[in-house]
Structure 1
Amino acid sequence: MKRSRTTAALHRHTTDWSANRRVAVVTAVLALLVTVAGLAAYVTGRGDQGPKPSAPSAPADPSVPFTDKEGKPSPGPDRGSVAAPPQIADPLAFGKAAAAMLWSYDTRTTTRDQQLAGMRAWMTDEAKYSDWSGVQAQVPDPVLWSRMGDNAQYATATVGQAAFPSAFKQALADNPTALSEAYIYAVTATGKQSITWKGGGGGAEDRSVTLAVQCRPSADCALVSIAPRVAP
């Protein structure tokens, strides 16, 4: 697959998240897991609209930009082309949307600061769990972003599916009565990222990411972090 040096540099640009945030999120996802009883409370709180771990409802297509009441894309001037977080309580649907957001960018219309502002809007406001440093590390540094802009580089994403990892579901089965304190779900999303740059360059590759998603009762979901690798 043909790709520019800038694109290759982008995919090499990763940073480990802080130890403290890692401990907090791993604890929330794998030790304080949302269980069957907790999920029932969550569903009741959302008007019986939430999914069950064993049979989640089919979410809307997250590749469609967030829209206003007239159905027009509404990314917001302060966040460039970055889609606004969807107002949904389904962790799988939110996970798909968040993955599409993380795999999409447009240096032609969006500054690096706007990209970060757009991503920040997806994060939980609970500082105890939020790993903003790990999420923002996915954005290239200012020099690389500028070079990507010089190449008019942009990426779009299609997310095919999202599922709870087997480790998450096993934890539910092992402890079906305990209630979660954090309401954080592990969600693994898979899809494809397509990258294009000026001069007719471009390429595509399969992508997969496990996210920590918080969906408290009577509240919209929010992104917690890009989670450590979890068995599918």
Structure 2
Amino acid sequence: MLKSSSPFTGQSALLRRLLIGLGVLVVVALLAGLTARLAGGGHRAPIAANSPSVPAVSTPSAAPSPRTGADPSAGPAASTAPVVAPPPHTSDPIAFAKAFTAALWTYDTRAATQPQQLAGLREWLTGESQYADPDALAAQVPDPTLWDRMRDNGQFAVGEVAEAHLPAAFQKGIGNDPTQLTIAYIYAVTVTGKQTISWRDGGRGAEDRAITMAVQCRAGRDCALATIATTVYP
């Protein structure tokens, strides 16, 4: 079981006061049972075996789809394509959150190992260690044992983003005290969409999904992921 080392739990009292005080993100604590939930939810393994006023530059709306025609027995070296889509060059937290979510919900166990998938996603984290929460990110990816089980079934998924917005409480809090945003330049963003999962022998299923994350967008830099909340905020 992974315990969070989130900045919201002590590494940054100012950031904790910002987000908790706004009523947007709760303390990122123990992500209990998330791997089990992934097995029965977002990363199921078949049992057969309103934007803020910050400038933005172009960014992909979704991560590239996995190789749907790939041989399930082929290893990670069979493709030279990136395991995970790279972070976009954007200063817009909404655009960043959409791109990250699509990358997070898209995977191909036939073409990547669990460590490769996680390493690709970690490229999206902020380089400011006091705000980066790698444990919260790791909790979104099936553990190596589950990943291998999914790979045995030739499982892959494609994430589709429908909408992203700043939670209402976050917008209200920043409106009441805009100076709070200058502490760490971190925005709360909720993204909704769909994940379509496929596996060997034509198995296929889809489900609606939602996630809330903290995105850091400092002036003059590309946005980056800070952490992922345990609760989805409207």
- Please indicate, yes or no, whether the TM-score normalized by the shorter chain is above 0.5: yes
Of stretches 221-230 and 172-181 in structure 1, the one that deviates more from structure 2 is 172-181
Gapped regions of structure 1 (runs ≥ 5) = 1-13, 33-50, 67-76
1: CA distance, partners of 2:161 / 2:121: 17
Q: SS state of the match for residue 88, structure 1?
A: coil
Moved over 6 A (4+): 54-59
Pair 1:213 & 2:215 matched: yes
2: CA distance, partners of 1:55 / 1:127: 24
- What RMSD in Å do the two structures reach over aligned CA positions? 3.1
1: CA distance, partners of 2:20 / 2:232: 10
User: 1:104, CA displacement in angstroms?
Assistant: 1.2
- What's the CA shift string for 1:164-218, capped at 9, x where partnerless? 0011001012113555120000000000000000011110000000010000000
Percentage of identical aligned residues: 48
TM-score under structure 1 length normalisation: 0.72
Question: Is the 2:97–2:215 Cα contact (8 Å) retained in structure 1?
Answer: yes
Residue 139 to residue 165, structure 1, CA distance change in 2 (3 Å): same
Structure 1 residue aligned with 2:142, among 136, 140, 143? 140
Give the structure 2 partner of residue 175 of structure 1.
177
Give the structure 1 partner of residue 17 of structure 2.
27
Give the structure 2 partner of residue 95 of structure 1.
97
User: 1:21, CA displacement in angstroms?
Assistant: 4.3
TM-score under structure 2 length normalisation: 0.72
- What's the CA shift string for 1:97-153, capped at 9, x where partnerless? 111111111001111111011011000011111110110111111111111111110
1: CA distance, partners of 2:80 / 2:184: 30
1: CA distance, partners of 2:202 / 2:9: 40
Higher RCO, 1 or 2 (CA under 8 Å, sep at least 6)? 1
Gapped regions of structure 2 (runs ≥ 5) = 23-49, 66-78
Give the structure 1 partner of residue 186 of structure 2.
184
Give the structure 2 partner of residue 35 of structure 1.
none
Give the structure 2 partner of residue 17 of structure 1.
4
